[in-house]
Chain A
Amino acid sequence: MIVKKSEDIHSSEITPKQTYLNRRTFLASGAVAAAAALVGGRKWLKLPSPEASVSAAGTQPESSSTKLDVVKKTDYASGEKATSLKDITNYNNFYEFGTDKYSPAAEAQQLRTRPWAVAVEGLVKRPKTYDIDTILKLAPLEERVYRHRCVEGWSMVIPWVGFPLGSFIRQLEPMSNAKYVAFTTLYDPKQMPGQNSSVLDWPYVEGLRLDEAQHPLTLLCLGLYGEVLPKQDGAPLRLVVPWKYGFKGIKSIVKIRFVESQPATTWNKAAPNEYGFYSNVNPHVDHPRWSQAKERRIGEFLKRDTLMFNGYGDQVAGLYAGMDLRKDF
């Protein structure tokens, strides 16, 4: 953990953040408490206090440099309340830092996110290695509140910060035979202790069809809640594809490769009958071992129905016209 000396931080920068965190948590707790009261019987599960939330955020270096300049904010989650920063930063699937959901919050803090280079390779007219600070300035950053659905059956609402991957891809000029994009996570077992285990075939690889990658909803994500990405959430940059299960949103990307044929992706290789290449959120296609019809929104008591394409069907269903989504799950 990096602890900044007090002189690095102006008090004027701290106060607003704590205020908004307190406010968010207070609102969230209030709503959850109301829901719990309605449901009854769960009152003994006390809700996190606002102070706890602020200290959770303190696991990242807090200084002015972590703030991102966001030019616009758009809600893509129909006004649903965002999940607390505490839960977003303490309940993570990031196997590079352990298979337990609570371990990335601690284990990921040793990841060095500067310097960080991203190699763009393959079928593009301008293959090039980009520095993370160059990528941060490639396009105006926007906040997008998206629903996030994990293949395990839980979900969150997250205010991501980034820009559409498509605007980056346009600058790279893919060749006409480029049909897919493959992404690779950093491989460094010294920094990512989970890679010492053979639970997955490292490095983690994910992929999208080029038209999926260029879809306006697909986000190259650099932050959340207005600040740079917490390490446990995939710093310094990750993919966010809101209509697909969370594992498609590859974290800590070091390579983007444009290819002609469908890339072999990590979870698909691990269990092809359980995790398809597409992995679109689909309540009608169950995971072989559990139902995908419902999900538990973190912070809520009752399960809610899972929406086709996670509720983004109007925008993305066209990508899959004529496909049998039971076969191409």
Chain B
Amino acid sequence: MKAIRWLKPLVFVLCLAPLGGLLKKGLEGDLGANPIQVITWSTGLWTLRFLLMTLAITPVRKLAGLLALIRFRRMLGLFAFFYASLHFLTYVWLDQFFDVHSMLKDVVKRPFITAGFAAFVLLIPLAVTSTRKMIQRLGGKRWQWLHRLIYISASAGVLHFLWLVKKDITEPAIYGIILAVLLGYRAILWLRPLMPPISAAPEPRTDL
């Protein structure tokens, strides 16, 4: 696919757009009354969105037959890590101003921060082992197992979001449902070979 060659830089630039938007608003003094909160929310939401996009690659390429999509998975995953790092940095620097004592207390005492912190830490080994060299060194199977940590990380991320909102859980619930669909797809694929072969198993309906 020749298209990939010029599509990749385009996707790369698009992935930077949320950061660009934030910087533009910052420069124009348009981040509202509580700029730090806006930065925290925006980087956090984009982390979740990139995690979900990464997880959507496999089902979409199989269901839609767009096998070349795999070429974008690493980039999306690394952008999830990029926005997670910005989100973490916002907390450490802008929100807590490097108050280590207060942050440690937060991580231990606040379930939503514990979940968020876990989600971030779990992404680190995935980012570190994202190079071709690391895949070869680990071996495909082991690499694949390691990278299933993204399921836990994304779940912890959604929990982090769900636990922090005051009352209106609509938004975290939407992310939760999308994640459940993406993970559910994988669960079905895994469970299918384990199920007793039923000869009368209905063919997947194509008219839905």
B:108-155 near A, CB below 8 Å: 109-112
CA of A200 to CA of B166, assembled, Å: 11
Cβ-defined contact, B27 with A46, below 8 A: yes
Interface range for B = 20 to 34
Q: How far is the CA of A296 from the CA of B34 in the complex (A)?
A: 9
Find out whether the CB atom of B23 lies under 8 angstroms from the CB atom of A291: no
**How many residues on the A side are at the interface (Cβ–Cβ under 8 A)?**
36
- B29–A47 touching, CB < 8 Å: yes
A44 and B105 in contact (CB under 8 A), knowing A99-B167, A298-B33? Answer: no
Chain B residues in 8 Å Cβ range of A42: 94
CB of A302 within 8 A of CB of B105, answer: no
- B35 partner residues in chain A, CB cutoff 8 A: 45
**Considering the complex, which residues of chain A in the window 287-301 have a beta carbon less than 8 Å from any beta carbon of chain B?**
289-291, 293-294, 296, 298-299, 301
- Pick from A91, A289, A301: contact of B111, CB below 8 A: A289
Complex interface bits, A32-62 against B, C-beta within 8 A gives 1, otherwise 0: 0000000001101111110010000000000
Q: Does B178 contact A (CB under 8 A)?
A: no
Chain A residue contacts of B36, Cβ below 8 A: 296, 301
Q: Is the CB of A91 within 8 A of B34?
A: yes
Query: Which residues from chain B contact A99 at a C-beta distance below 8 Å?
Result: 167-168
Cβ–Cβ contact A44 & B27, under 8 A: yes
Contact A45 B26 (CB under 8 A): yes
Chain B nearest CB from A235 CB (Å) reads 19
Residue B91 at the A interface, CB < 8 A?
A: no
Identify the B interface with A (CB < 8 A): 23, 26-29, 31-37, 93-97, 102, 105-106, 109-112, 163-164, 166-168
24 contacts between A and B (CB under 8 A): A44-B27, A46-B27, A48-B29, A49-B29, A87-B33, A90-B32, A95-B167, A101-B32, A152-B166, A154-B37, A289-B112, A290-B110, A290-B112, A290-B164, A291-B105, A291-B106, A291-B109, A293-B102, A294-B102, A296-B34, A298-B33, A299-B33, A303-B95, A303-B96
List 20 additional contacts besides A46-B27, A99-B167, A303-B96; criterion CB under 8 Å: A44-B23, A44-B26, A95-B167, A99-B168, A101-B33, A101-B34, A197-B168, A200-B167, A290-B110, A291-B102, A291-B105, A291-B106, A291-B109, A291-B110, A296-B34, A298-B34, A299-B33, A301-B36, A302-B97, A303-B97
